[in-house]
Amino acid sequence: MKTLIKILCLSMVLFSYSYGNIKEPHDFHTIMYFGLGMPDNSNPNESDATPMSFGITGYLKNIKTYMGIEIGWEGTMLSSTYGRNNAIEQGFSYNFIFSKPLYIPVEYHSTVGLIIGWRDIRQYCPGGDSYLGHACYADEIPSYDSKLNLGALFTINQGKSLVFGLRVTTVSTQATVGINF
């Protein structure tokens, strides 16, 4: 919970600071990125899979904001499908991104933003287990329980196309690399 509060406070401070110091992007208005983090093997009750993400944001000039979507493979999901009971798997997150350009002297272009979405934490079969090898009884689609997913995204680039960044959520920290087009 303390990490969540720190992320929200940092995002709000940077958002409010950047509002008056906006540097308009010149030719490139879309950022597409891939993120990769380090797995955490310290807790046997949590997934130790490598956290990843893929996202895309576009610049809306009239409101001076980047908005986008992303999917993340992060955190832990307990799965009770295929005859298992609370098996530990990597969770999925589905997020929206709201970023503002920041002014940094020299020739750098950077953004800082808020990630908000939901993360699957449990997958189960309401109708029971399948005896024929399906995920659920009668090939029923599994149900999911979700939880709020919050974070921050920072990107920076000097050239015209390569973008580097840092993505931090309540369940993972990832370095990002992408393109600006």
DSSP the chain: -HHHHHHHHHHHHHHHHHHHS----SS--EEEEEEEE----S-TTS--SPPEEEEEEEEETTTTEEEEEEEEEEEEEEEE-TT-SSEEEEEEEEEEEEEEEE--SSS-EEEEEEEEEEEEEEEE-TT---SSSSSSGGGPPPEEEEEEEEEEEEEEESSSSEEEEEEEESS-EEEEEEEE-
CB contact at 8 A, 73 and 47: no
AA letter at 118:
W
pLDDT at 2: 54
2-180: which CATH architecture?
A: Beta Barrel (2.40)
pLDDT at 13: 47
Q: Where are the domains of the chain?
A: 2-180
- Convert the pLDDT of each residue in 21-76 to its tens digit: 444 555 557 999 999 999 988 899 999 999 999 999 999 988 889 999 999 999 99
Q: How many CB atoms lie within 10 A of CB 8?
A: 15
| Higher pLDDT, residue 159 or 89 | 89
pTM above 0.95, yes or no: no
pLDDT at 21: 45
